[in-house]
Structure 1
Amino acid sequence: MSEVPFHYVDLRTFCYDTEDENRVADALRHFLPEDVELERAESTGHLGDRIVVLSARVERADEMRHVLSVLRDGADIEKIRTELGERVDDNCSFFVHLDKQAAFQGDAELGGGISLRAKVEAYPAKKDAAVENARDALS
């Protein structure tokens, strides 16, 4: 894949009070190249509990290829490709939710805990074009 039809890829996860922040960060790093740094923001939950939001944005083509490669190698890519009509919105954003525990163990599985959002390049910026571009990128 020489061209990457994305403007950027965002990854984000929450670390709750009951979780080890280093382990959660390692789960998120599973999808990222080594030189990408995580952003950290602290928040408070509804009941006053501490929540740390860990996130990263990759914008360079090589970084996006790395994220897509990890996704293709581990996640149920055929299911994702089949559901692209529901996973790409009218703003040409592509969404996948990944299992945080599996990522910590070195796998990429569909599930909960890690959100991947990618802005799909599409000209004209229409959902149908974005779906096809995302399908090509996930082949």
Structure 2
Amino acid sequence: MIHHINLRVIAHSTEEKSRVMDALGLFLKNSLKNKDSDLLSELVDTIEAEGHYGNPITIFSIQLTRKHDTMAFSKFVHNNMTSEDLETLQSEMPDRLDDEQVFHLRFDKQEAYMGRVKIVSSSDAITAKVKIETYPKNREMAGKIVEELFG
């Protein structure tokens, strides 16, 4: 099924880091078995970096590897998307699944901060890379798994 999920979001210098972390927290609180919000910041990797134009940015990332967490993430996303987002996702599924069997999703940061799951195409988003596991490696089978989980 799902091997792992990488979640990543960038807090730009014009954004409050705590709000960006809260937006990421929407997915983590609904995915991780241990939902204590005080511990979430300890689980998330934080990197202080420099943007393309020399502006300071903070990158928050986490990898979900436990089956419970990955399945809870996919269920939460599926159950909280609008019908329009579900239709968009279904029509774009083949393009979102790459040759390495990674399914790519982007979620609106502002909507996540407000407690809503919204698919976006913007690069300024919470990104989720869902690694699908099949033996032997088979893109068609991976596509069916993605449809079951998110379709």
TM-score by length of 1: 0.90
Give the alignment of 1:96-115 within 5 angstroms. 96-111=105-120, 112=122, 113-115=125-127
What is the letter of the counterpart of residue 127 of structure 2?
A: S
The answer for the alignment partner of 2:20 in structure 1 is 24
The alignment's C-alpha RMSD in Å is 1.4
The answer for the alignment partner of 2:56 in structure 1 is 50
Give the alignment of 1:66-81 within 5 angstroms. 66-75=72-81, 76-81=85-90
The answer for the alignment partner of 2:2 in structure 1 is 6
What is the letter of the counterpart of residue 40 of structure 1?
A: T
**Number of aligned residue pairs:** 135
TM-score by length of 2: 0.83
What is the letter of the counterpart of residue 67 of structure 2?
A: A
Greater than 4 Å deviation, 4+ residue runs: none
Could you list the runs of 5+ residues in structure 1 that have no partner in the other structure? Answer: none
Cα distance, 1:17 vs. partner?
0.2
Alpha-carbon distance in 1 for matches of 2:65, 2:52: 33
* 1:9–1:59 contact (8 Å) kept in structure 2: yes
Greater helix proportion: 2
Could you list the runs of 5+ residues in structure 2 that have no partner in the other structure? Answer: none
Cα distance, 1:127 vs. partner?
1.6
